[in-house]
Structure 1
């Protein structure tokens, strides 16, 4: 691919700059709509960063039909060598982040068979009991503390605690897991990567020292999580338990198990993808039900009958994972657009989930929307989210607990959003509720 220039239609929306991902959501949606209307997927330049290698640009795939087609055909749109970065993964990163999400079959299928034991009906049944217990305790503690930050007190806690319980990670390590997860997925956010938050950083020309500092923090985060699971894996090989680490490091019925490297990188994938997707869906859910109170009333009129479609709509509307990369394996076409072997394409799930060809009135939050073929858990195919069912249960249980025990809970003010082209994240969000003991006495809500 020759060095591209930004199409004139996107002159005001430069996706090659990090500053685009700090703009209001309405601006991003206008850019996606403009890209969907173009005859062919636009090619977006990739700005050169110090110490990195990348293609000169990527094809932005924004139509629902194109995203699903690319997802279904991994023989043309490969996940190797990497899916979660526009830049090529260096050797130091591959050790920690070279998980099955960056693999194609047959290796991907083999590892997925092993890790699928984490999501068997028996394991999920036990996990659901834990989700209910954990959620009740989280809300108990939130009521006792009073509302401060919904993400820290509720949304971020549940998924990381559930995943750590599944893996068999002792509670004393939960805070480390959460902090390191924040640093991995916040690698483009100055709060987490240590970069100087100035114009140079946000326009794609950061200082070499900023890139080095961000890389060092990313390495540290991956290394700490990797070493934690590596130590626990050695213990479980000697003395297996009923946790997921034990299942991964001991052979299944076919004699398959994961190496120490594969176990560590899978854990990093699980706590980043699984934690962040659920965490941000829960945070966005409170924001959406505050912004659209009529939808909340609709849900509470028949919670059990409507929560299923409500969760799907939350995931569609918020789309916690913005995009993933794919790598073209041979010359081909996608919806008439010619692609060359070696080209880079980016599947923008947020754009596909607002495609007016598929979704009637796509910018409307409608918890009764049906059908709802969103790609919020990834498109169809081998890389569809393995933990989607668990994520749905966590969102359901948390919303039930919140809305039944705290009927007036609501977001209170603008959320502090993550600076990221990968995760539609909320770092902090003020909220308010009336403590249960105060409602009968007619006291005002706490804030």
Structure 2
């Protein structure tokens, strides 16, 4: 059934928008999800979603921004749409751990981004690429030795190992990072935590563990500096700037969750898509270097690892003909924008030759475009190159089990065969 057919079939239920922050919506069949977003994109203005929960942006409801053009417009106007709390819909006791630059406006945002960019900017790309190739080779060799089975851990270890190597984190701590990021990003899944209270306690505990961990690394690097990224971040820069302890904690939590979780899920999505579309897989394998760049963009578009970001209207303003009032909460739904029929011809087709491909999985043009986008692309390319070279017949085995989350397109069970 096509999304349009699903729209017609469920016209009576589609009139009232679902709560897009409810994880159960994202576990629906993809054609049902697509039908809901198709209906919303056809509306002249963003749909208002009534309040559901008693705290944060849900207390008064929010506007669902679903069109590619609207998300691009909001993203390029930080003076009208604040990024404070961009990634958080959690209770206020967790705010101290989410004070990273992704949840800030200027001038604080530009200051932190400037400090961090020295260690993660595009100038580091050659070093990232060499490191990613080496890590991918080791991971795939170990996968071959273990044999078919779990694919989540190999996909997760790619970003964990690259980022940890950059930060001087030893290999014996990879499991610690893997477990804590799983808890934070997947805490609302009912199979992982039975009650909201258990969820909050588990997530808060994992956040504190990561905060304490980076705090110990900070003290060690201040006393015994090395050439790794953590040392660079805690040292006073040439212009006198330096990350405070709290800024480092928040950035580290952002880095290990956004950098590790999203890349691992993009790698898993890649294998799922190439398994489901053997013609595209064959095309990619016929000349990997010629098609890899476009293939990654299409994987990111169709897979969309991050579903949304939050913005708040700083004052009364207009956006593409719609009036917002000061304090209005706005959610930018990237999955919908990445399937916008006004931008992408035949948007539900997986096509690794699609060009141009202005996918918004790293955000739209603006101050909050993902600083690590180039690193994520390098890691995905390196992993796919090694997988398709060393295991040319690797494929998904069975049906992957999706994570119950509104924020990320993740998996909690994903098996491979070769």
Give the TM-score of the pair, scaled to structure 2.
0.94
Residue 164 of structure 2 is matched in structure 1 by 164
Structure 2 CA distance, aligned partners of 1:83 and 1:10? 28
Partner of residue 368 from structure 1, selected from 346, 353, 362 = 353
What is the aligned partner in structure 1 of residue 100 from structure 2? 99
Q: Please state if 1:45 is matched with 2:50.
A: yes
In the aligned structure 2, how far is the partner of 1:109 from the partner of 1:373?
Answer: 25
Q: Which of 395, 400, 403 is 1:418 aligned to? A: 403
Question: Which 4+ residue blocks in structure 1 deviate beyond 6 angstroms?
Answer: none
Q: Does 1:61 align with 2:65?
A: yes
Aligned-partner Cα distance in 2 for 1:411–1:229: 36
Question: Partner of 1:129 in structure 2?
Answer: 130
| Inter-partner Cα distance in structure 1 for 2:122 and 2:205 | 35
8 Å CA contact retained: 1:16, 1:44 = no
Equivalent position of 1:175 in the other structure: 175
5 Å-filtered alignment, 1:29-428, equals: 29-49=34-54, 54-80=58-84, 82-86=85-89, 90=92, 92-120=93-121, 123-152=124-153, 154-192=154-192, 194-195=193-194, 210-428=195-413
Q: Secondary structure at the match of 2:130?
A: helix
Is residue 81–residue 313 contact of structure 2 (8 Å, CA) maintained in 1?
yes
CA distance in 1, matches of 2:160, 2:166: 10
Residue 8 of structure 1 deviates from its aligned partner by 6.7
* Structure 1 unmatched runs, 5+: 1-6, 196-209, 434-447
Displacement of 1:74: 0.6
SS at 1:15 equivalent: coil
Is this contact kept in 2: 1:16–1:46, CA < 8 A?
A: no
Cα contact 2:306–2:408 (8 A) shared by 1: yes
Change in 2 beyond 3 A, CA 1:47/1:121: closer
Deviation at 1:143, TM superposition (A): 0.6
Asked if the contact 1:10–1:31 (Cα under 8 Å) also holds between the matched residues in 2, the reply is: no
Deviation at 1:211, TM superposition (A): 2.2
Distance (Å, rounded) in 1 between the aligned partners of 2:381 and 2:111: 31
Using a 3 Å threshold, how does the CA distance of structure 1 residues 170 and 336 change in structure 2: closer, same or farther?
same
State the match for 1:204 in structure 2. Answer: none
Determine helix, strand or coil for the equivalent of 1:431. strand
Secondary structure of residue in 1 paired with 2:149: coil
Distance 1:122 1:331 in 2: 40
- Look up the SS of the partner of 1:213 in the other structure: helix
Contact 2:52 / 2:59 at 8 angstroms: preserved in 1? Answer: no
* C-alpha contact (below 8 Å) 1:321/1:422 kept by paired residues: yes
The answer to whether the Cα contact below 8 Å between 2:184 and 2:207 also exists between their aligned partners in 1 is yes
